[in-house]
Amino acid sequence: MTLTPEEAQRVHVLSLLEGKRITPAQAAEALGLTPRQVRRLRVALRMEGPAALVHGNRGRPAPNQLPEPLRTQIVALARGRYAGLNDHHLTEKLTTVEAL
How would you write the chain as a 3-class SS string? CCCCHHHHHHHHHHHHHHCCCCCHHHHHHHHCCCHHHHHHHHHHHHHHHHHHHCCCCCCCCCCCCCCHHHHHHHHHHHHCCCCCCCHHHHHHHHHHCCCC
Provide the pLDDT for residue 2.
84
Asked whether residue 14 falls in the same domain as residue 37, the answer is: yes
pTM of the model: 0.62
pLDDT value of position 1 = 72
- The pLDDT tens digits of the residues spanning 16-75 come to 999 999 999 999 999 999 999 999 999 999 999 998 888 888 888 889 999 999 999 999
How many folded domains does the chain comprise? Answer: 2
For residues 35 and 68, membership in a common domain is answered with no
Range of the domain at 91: 62-100
Domain co-membership, 47 together with 13: yes
